[in-house]
Every structure is written in C-alpha cells, then in structure tokens.
Amino acid sequence: MVSAMSKGALLNHAPSPPKPSETIATDTIQRAEEFLRTLGGRSSTVIIPGREDHRARLERIVREIEEKAVPDNTSRAYEGDERCLSRCCADLEIPDPYGLGARDILTFVAYELERGCSLSTVTRRLSGIRHAYKKRSKPFPMTFREQSIYLARIQNELAALDNSRPLQLPKRKRIYEDGVLAKILATFDVETPRGARNHAIVSNSAWGAFRRSEIAGMRCNQRVLAERGHTFILTHSKTNQTGHVNHVHIPYRSDPITCPVRSMNRHLKMSRFEEGPIFRGIDRWGHVRDTALTAPVVALIIKQALRDIGMSEDDVAHYSGHSSRRWWVTKALRAGIPRYVVKTHARIRREDTVDVYTDWGDTWKHDPSELVL
C-alpha cells in the first residue's frame, strides 16, 4: 500500500494537464504543418514545450507557408523587381535599398518611368518591392492608400502629356489571316519527330487558345482522349495560380491537316511518351530530350513556320506565340459565340481583356455604317 506521503510525492511529480492556451497553440501548429505539407513543404523546427517556443515555432511555419504559397513565376518576378530597386539605388547612390522613405519610393517610380517603363509595370514592381520589405520584416514606407493617391496623380499627369501627343492605335501582335494557319501546318513534315511535334504545337495552340507557358507545361497525364476530341486538364496558368482545375475541350476537325486531335495522336504515337512533358526539345541529330520545351521556343517555332511560307522578316516581327490565342478569340466572336463561352475556353478573367484580344481590323471588316447606308 502506498503511504500518504508517497501519494503526495507522486502527485507532485505527475505531469500537469496542459493549459488551454498551450493546447490551442499545439492544435494551431498541427493545422499549420498539415497545410504546409499540402504545399509541398515540411517544417524543419523542433517542438519544444513552452508558450514562447510555441509562438516562435508557429511564426516560423507561417513564414515557410508564405514562401511556399508564392508561385515560382511570381517569385522570379519579385526577384526582378528587387534587382530594379538595387539598380536604381546604385545609380542614385542610395546606400540601403531597404531603408527608404516615401520620397525615395516616388524617386524610384520616376526613375523607372524615365527608363521607359509604363505606369502599370512600375505599379507591379512596387508590389514586388513591398514583398521584399515584408520578407525582411521591415515596414514599407508607404501605405496602400498613399501609394494609390500618388500613382493616381502621376497617372493624371501622364494623361495630360499624352493628350498633347498624336493618338495612335495600340500596337498588338497580328492574328492569322484566312488560310494562313492551314499554310503553316502544311509546311511541317509530320513524318519526322520534329515536324509532328511542331504540327501538334501550332494546331493545338490555335484551337485551344493556349498561352505559350501552357503549351510548354503540358504533361501526358493532363490529356484525356474522348470520342469527340480530347480534353486538357489545366491546374496552373497565368490567371490560375491557386490550382483551380480548367478543362479545355478541343473537338476533332473535319480537315485532317488542321485537326489538332489527330495531330496530337500522331505526335504521341511517334514519340511514345506515356508520362512527363508532352512537348520536349529535340537536338540537331533528332535525339529527344527528357526536359520540356520552354515558352520562348513555342514562339520561335511559330515565327520559323511563318518564314517557311514565304513571309518577310518585317511581317514575321508582327506575330508571336500570342497570335494563335488572339486568332481563336477573334474567330469565335466573329462567329457569334457568346463572350462568356469565349472567356471560359480561353481562360480569360477580365471582361476588357476580351476586347484587347479582338483584332482591331474587325472595325473595318464589320463596320455597322455599311448596314445603315
């Protein structure tokens, strides 16, 4: 039998129940770690009892979550913004780029505008610089409201200057004229791996209204072949950085030369790809690489195809990888497809972007004044 004294000693050495605040902190840390694992990361800190240690650990997990949650393309853009700030400070002999005041930020804005950057580009760079300050646990010298007020004043000044200059139509890349797409696809030798690949790239980028980055990032498990065509399941794109699933349906075409589904079937059958990137690099000897094509290569393939059909260099300069995307949007709207269907298929979020993608030449081809006359 245990004596009363030994009972008291056991009670004194028994572990005390956790305090409510410590229990809440532990649950919060577990939820944060679980969310971090979904982002592909793992916390490297060690659990140490104590309220302050819980808080320090939670703060570190939050920082890791913030780093993992920023997409790679956005991170690269932020790094470029930091380089722009460092270059400005070096030219103006400012010692610390991360100890600036509000006037210094306005100086940076003027510096970038003087270099020829647009105000929208400078505004986006301020977001990257603000992120750099946050990463270094330093307060940004300007609130969002102050920044919006200053930028609005600058925009008004720039608008006043623009009113004194001759107006010009915005310079945008051209779309394919009637019959040009079929001529481009006819130039590819589909009996070779390179020709079959390029034919699949051009045809699917046109009928799927894909961006260059979407073409370069396509993988075999994202394509589903069906009776009426094939479907690409996109989880990331320029306007989708959160993993939302987009389904792009592309049906069979009656013309076998321009049919994107037959073209893709031929490319995959010839390359024998079952996993990994769909479009990969091919060296001069015809050896297929394991790595995917980059987005700029997609534009180079389209430009070279335009040269092959006899287009001059001056005309080729007016086309890019985005010409296929603009071509589909323009053709769809010209055919009477509802705008919301066009936005869904082309993964366009903003309504005014549809107008930007529409070819300006339509204002002359479909002039409503002709109906009145």
pLDDT, tens digit, for every residue of 165-202?
Answer: 555 555 667 777 778 888 889 889 999 999 999 999 99
Whether residues 268 and 350 share a domain: the answer is yes
Whether residues 126 and 248 share a domain: the answer is no
Whether residues 188 and 281 share a domain: the answer is yes
- How many structural domains is the chain composed of? 3
Region 286-305: mean pLDDT is 87
In a domain, 58, yes or no: yes
More confident site: 66 or 296: 296
Average pLDDT, rounded, for the chain: 79
Highest mean pLDDT among 13-17, 64-68, 203-207 belongs to 203-207
Question: Is 173 within 8 Å of 318 (Cβ atoms)?
Answer: yes
Whether residues 64 and 115 share a domain: the answer is no
> Which pTM was predicted?
0.60
Whether residues 33 and 103 share a domain: the answer is no
Whether residues 292 and 144 share a domain: the answer is no
Lowest mean pLDDT among 29-43, 296-310, 345-359: 29-43
Whether residues 155 and 225 share a domain: the answer is no
Whether residues 293 and 149 share a domain: the answer is no
Whether residues 215 and 349 share a domain: the answer is yes
Q: Which residues contact 326 (CB under 8 A, 6 or more apart)?
A: 172, 173, 175, 357, 358, 359
- Domain span holding position 188: 180-362
In a domain, 369, yes or no: no
In a domain, 272, yes or no: yes
Query: What's the token pair of residue 172?
Result: 């945008």
223-225 β-sheet, strand order? 223-225, 229-234, 246-251
The H or E element containing residue 230 is strand 229-234
Question: Is 358 within 8 Å of 222 (Cβ atoms)?
Answer: no
Whether residues 101 and 229 share a domain: the answer is no
More confident site: 215 or 21: 215
Q: Which residues contact 28 (CB under 8 A, 6 or more apart)?
A: 58
Whether residues 57 and 93 share a domain: the answer is no
In a domain, 273, yes or no: yes
In a domain, 265, yes or no: yes
Whether residues 151 and 188 share a domain: the answer is no
Lowest mean pLDDT among 94-98, 133-137, 138-142, 176-180: 176-180
pLDDT of residue 323 exceeding 90: no
